[in-house]
Structure formats: C-alpha cells, structure tokens
C-alpha cells in the first residue's frame, strides 16, 4: 500500500494506492462521513488483480479542507477535483466503486466521459428517488425553504452518536469494528467541518435533480454494474438498488444483511463479487 498526496488545482489530495499500474484501475470513492480508510479491508482483496486508488475528497480525511467561505463545497466542484486527480495520475479508464456521496460524483464522471468507465460497483450509492429513505422528505422541505435554524438542526448528522449509529444500524452485534467510526468522529473535530458539511447537505438537492441524467446514462451505455447493498440501510433504502435493473440489463443486485456501512461487515462478500466478475480479465 502506498499513501501519497498530489496537487490538484493547488490543493492537496490524499490517496491510497495499491497494485501494479499495468493492471486495470479501480477507483474507490467514499461518502459521508468517512474517507478512503473505508476501503482498508477491500483494497488488499483487489490489489492482486487491479491497480487500486482511493482518494479522500476535498474537505474529507487527509485531503485539503479549505474554509467553506473560500471554497465551493458542491458535488459538481468535488467532481472536478476527482477529475483533476485522475488527470494528475494519468488514469484514462477505470472501474468505479461508489458509496453514498461517492455515487453522484462517480456518475458525474460517467456522464461526462462514458468511455472511461469499465464497470461500476454501487454500494448504497443511490441514483433513484425510490432509494431515498424517509429522512429525505424532511431535507427536501429544507431545500425548498432553507433557514439558518434548519441548517443548524442538520448539524446533528455530524454528532458522534449519529455517526456511530450509521455504522452499527442494521448490522449484527459485534460485526462492525470501531476503527472506522472512531476515525470519522475524530475528523469532525477539525475547524469548519460542520460548515462545509452543511454546504454539501444543502447542495445534495442538485444530485437528486441529476438522477434522470444518471439513469439516462445507464439506459444508453448499459455498463456492467454490481449493486451490493446493505438492505437494512434507512438512508438509501434497497429499492434504490433494485431500480438499477430497470435501466441497465447488465446490472446485478445483491441485497446484503447489513446497513449503510455494509462494507464494514461484508467486505469479503463484496470483494468476491468484484473478483468473480472482473478479476480474471
């Protein structure tokens, strides 16, 4: 495993890298509230078959986190930085693993340049309204009528108990190590963390608006896709996984007995799904 940073438009992007660069690249995109350490168990499974790279998004983990007043914390801008990261590493084609916030970023990349995408794994990475759990109705009300009070209210999403609950919810007792959520909670203590994450919560409405664009990409290009979904996730509910099959005849859906962070408990299962499908190419 290699740990490094690269400059993208003047900002440091931290990333994990493993596997020979001569092999097909697998780009792993994390979501909220985590960073590339999410993939600490999966990368060793993939590194013998792929060139694996997992960046920390700007504002997350070990990457640069400029003040929210000086940086546009939107998913379109985060996509531009991931695109710049790929250019800096001279990566032209790749398999794509998306989770949570990584889904709109990854699908933005796919829509922009479909020929770059070799295949997709969506692990609780939603692109369908049918995959939005009950909490999203409240957030849509916030998006329609934003107030400072509601913005402050949604900062509860960054509370330690909430983060721990995201990891443990829907999982069997004792199946999830404390490593991931403990590090995520540590990162919430960084200056300006709540403000930049609040900007992204508000901007998420643009991802929902883009869902039809992502679905059109699936219908047009029919990428090979694995939807490996924690079926007990209350945030991105499992009908969002099943919906892939409506638009993509090359999609396969696997509903796993876990929650939002099902990779924490089922990384071996998900890794095997990947290797069985693409590992021998």
Contact at 8 Å (CB) between 188 and 273? no
Exposure b/e, 245-256, CB count within 10 A at least 16 = b: eebbeebebeeb
The arrangement of strands across the sheet holding 251-256 comes to 2-8, 11-18, 51-55, 25-29, 94-98, 117-122, 225-230, 251-256
Tokens for 261, please give them. Answer: 């962070």
Coil, helix or strand at residue 254: strand
| Catalytic residue status for 260 | yes
CA dist 22 and 267 (Å) reads 25
- Give the chain's largest Cα–Cα span: 53
Between the CA of residue 113 and those of 21, 117, 185, 187, what are the distances in Å? 21, 8, 35, 33
* Residue of 37, 51, 260, 266 marked catalytic: 260
Enumerate residues 6+ apart whose C-beta is below 8 A from 118.
24, 93, 94, 95, 96, 224, 278
Catalytic positions, written as ranges: 260
């Amino acid at each position: 495993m290699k740990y490094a940073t690269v400059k993208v438009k003047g900002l440091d992007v931290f990333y994990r890298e493993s596997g020979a660069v001569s092999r097909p690249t697998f780009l792993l995109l994390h979501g909220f509230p985590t960073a590339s350490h999410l993939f600490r168990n999966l990368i060793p499974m993939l590194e013998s078959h792929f060139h694996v790279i997992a960046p920390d998004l700007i504002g997350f983990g070990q990457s640069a986190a400029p003040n929210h007043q000086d940086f546009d914390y939107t998913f379109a801008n985060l996509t531009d930085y991931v695109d710049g990261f790929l250019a800096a590493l001279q990566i032209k084609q790749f398999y794509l693993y998306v989770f949570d916030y990584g889904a709109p970023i990854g699908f933005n990349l796919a829509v922009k340049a479909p020929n770059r995408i070799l295949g997709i794994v969506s692990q609780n990475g939603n692109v369908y309204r049918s995959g939005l759990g009950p909490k999203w109705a409240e957030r849509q009300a916030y998006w329609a009528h934003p107030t400072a009070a509601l913005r402050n209210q949604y900062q509860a999403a960054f509370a330690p108990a909430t983060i721990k609950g995201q990891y443990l919810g829907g999982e069997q007792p004792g199946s999830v190590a404390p490593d991931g959520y403990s590090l995520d909670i540590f990162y919430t203590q960084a200056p300006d963390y709540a403000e930049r994450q609040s900007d992204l919560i508000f901007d998420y409405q643009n991802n929902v608006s883009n869902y039809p664009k992502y679905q059109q990409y699936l219908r047009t290009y029919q990428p090979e896709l694995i939807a490996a979904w924690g079926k007990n996730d209350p945030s991105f509910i499992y009908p969002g996984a099943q919906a892939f099959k409506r638009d993509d005849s090359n999609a396969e859906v696997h509903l796993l007995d876990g929650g939002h962070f099902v990779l924490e408990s089922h990384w071996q299962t998900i890794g095997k799904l990947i290797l069985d499908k693409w590992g021998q190419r």
